[in-house]
Amino acid sequence: MLARLGQLVSSKAGRDQGKYFLIMDILDKNMVLVVDGHLRRVEKPKKKKLRHLVLHPEVLENMEKKLLEKKPITNREVREALLKLGITE
């Protein structure tokens, strides 16, 4: 499965193991930037290797569209999107 902007992922390695994030940017074929709107805010996303992430099939189309158009997203939007998927911190 290829990573997409706005896709739900969870960490399978590191001190954030088991936490859920959204992909904010794809740096290359191995690295992405992830945010959760709480600890990993839009202003300072976490750089993660794809092999350390579980890619879930859920892609938030509205987030993907904004990110593809290079429009800014807010931490609140990220938190609300994760809440809609039933993920709470």
Q: What is the residue-wise DSSP string for 6-51?
A: TEEEEE-SSTTTT-EEEEEEE-SSSEEEEE-SSSS-TTSPEEEEGG
Q: In what order do the strands lie in the sheet with 20-26?
A: 46-49, 31-35, 20-26, 7-11, 53-59
pLDDT tens string, the chain, 89 residues long: the values are 689 999 999 999 888 999 999 999 999 999 999 999 999 999 999 999 999 999 999 999 999 999 999 999 999 999 999 998 888 76
Size of the chain, expressed as the number of residues it contains: 89
Class of the 7-84 domain? mainly beta
Q: What is the DSSP letter of 52?
A: G
Task: Name the residue ranges covered by the structural domains of the chain.
Answer: 7-84
pTM: 0.91
